[in-house]
Structure 1
């Protein structure tokens, strides 16, 4: 069997290896953030979780330490550039490197489109879009100087298709995250070829995920019905459905994947 000159058995054996990597997770106090943190730690990465509320971050840190992982909590506001700059500086001084950024911070506010308050619309756009842009900018500059880095943004199927449950602000914000992801990947790929760095920017796009925040929907037969009607696999997502893709997009196995919005949606967007 012939192999190309670029083939490496060592790469094949280590393409999913995250041991010793340093991963920063925004929104690290939520259900998904905590799951990502624990999964990264189980795969040998050093984990930094951030949010505006330090008290809730402590629960994530405890969950990671339960499995022997190394986890640090740092208070930070993703919509405040100075706050994110301080975050990068502190992590770099503590660990000497940063390899991965997972933009998991976000919010939703549901209201009928014709009644959506402008201030709530702007708040959702600020947290979900500006709160993705600023970390991408700050960490992106760090990765340019370092030579490489991985960024995983959080989108949603709502960025691709609408839904009859008051998602005008959320859907608009996630559509913006989709195109921001593609734009950054394109710009930084071209710039990276010239300047000698590689930054992968991709996004994970889930459907409805079962969590304490979605309990009111998942437990209401009337509200869950429209979701299930568009899920060929017949169920909403579990937290465990999300973790594998985030780890993959953070690992060497995804080195040639860039600017992609990858749907983890039980077939929702397939037809």
Structure 2
């Protein structure tokens, strides 16, 4: 086999949660470019529709759906649709996320709970639902959980106080290890990506206000571009990463290397 063929995803189906914008969009486009059929889902289906049309317009195959990842019935509907439309699920990118900024002593509990509900509960429900189907089908698969560099260090009080987000992303790293060791026997690889600062709708307001301070915390002194995340997503979804499981890959310009 040619080495580059290890990265091809032809004949595989991927679900990408939060696939309508930001990091989810980047990764959905990358998986489609590598040959995967893609199921895009988020609470705002309109954004996913736009990405779906773009992928299909380039000759790929994609469908879009509305989904609340914290609702088991909503998640089940997405997995059922993926199987009905494309025959099964081979890849899951658990990307849907929420955040709320406030000093820990002032964090509203309802907002903290909201972040936990999406980032932790939602990630588990989607992984559990897809994992059951992968186990039943017996042909393995790849699950990629989107964590954050915020999971690997403390916050940055001058510009980022998001204790709920940081805590849930830390839990996602731990969950990734647990699912990896639990499901290795079924040929299911579970890894995580910990992105640093990429300009997205979620990060845009912070970057606009604190760009200089944020760049000082990044050894490469720049923010990430879509292409610098796309390759990592394809790698972890492909046979090129078949001997990797339970790992968290930081894509952060060196921020966690300080």
TM range (shorter): over 0.9
The count of residues paired between Structure 1 and Structure 2 equals: 254
Match of 1:86 among 77, 80, 83: 77
Measure, in 1, the Cα distance between the counterparts of 2:5 and 2:24: 25
1:173 aligns with 2:168: yes
Match of 2:149 among 144, 147, 157: 157
Residue 248 of structure 2: aligned partner: 261
Distance 1:247 1:169, change over 3 A: same
| Matches for 1:209-248 after TM superposition, within 5 Å | 209-220=198-209, 223-248=210-235
Shift of 1:13: 5.2
Answer yes or no: is the 8 Å Cα contact 2:31–2:233 preserved in 1.
no
1:109 aligns with 2:96: no
Residue 4 of structure 1: aligned partner: none
TM-score by length of 1: 0.90
TM-score by length of 2: 0.94
1:45 aligns with 2:39: no
Shift of 1:212: 3.0
Greater relative CO (CA pairs within 8 A, separation 6+): 2
Query: Which ranges in structure 2 are unaligned for 5 or more consecutive residues?
Result: none
Larger-gyration structure (1/2)? 1
Answer yes or no: is the 8 Å Cα contact 1:36–1:243 preserved in 2.
yes
Shift of 1:65: 2.1
Measure, in 1, the Cα distance between the counterparts of 2:213 and 2:183: 39
Once the two structures are superposed, what CA deviation does each residue of 1:183-218 show, in whole Å capped at 9, x if it has no partner? 1111222xx1xxxx2110000001111123322222
Measure, in 2, the Cα distance between the counterparts of 1:257 and 1:22: 20
Shift of 1:14: 2.3
Shift of 1:11: 6.7
Shift of 1:12: 3.8
CA RMSD of aligned residues (A): 1.4
SS in 2 for 1:33: helix
Match of 2:239 among 244, 252, 262: 252
| Matches for 1:68-147 after TM superposition, within 5 Å | 68-147=59-138
Answer yes or no: is the 8 Å Cα contact 1:35–1:239 preserved in 2.
yes
Measure, in 1, the Cα distance between the counterparts of 2:134 and 2:2: 22
Shift of 1:240: 2.0
Measure, in 1, the Cα distance between the counterparts of 2:130 and 2:56: 26
Answer yes or no: is the 8 Å Cα contact 1:110–1:167 preserved in 2.
yes
Shift of 1:236: 1.6
Answer yes or no: is the 8 Å Cα contact 2:79–2:130 preserved in 1.
yes
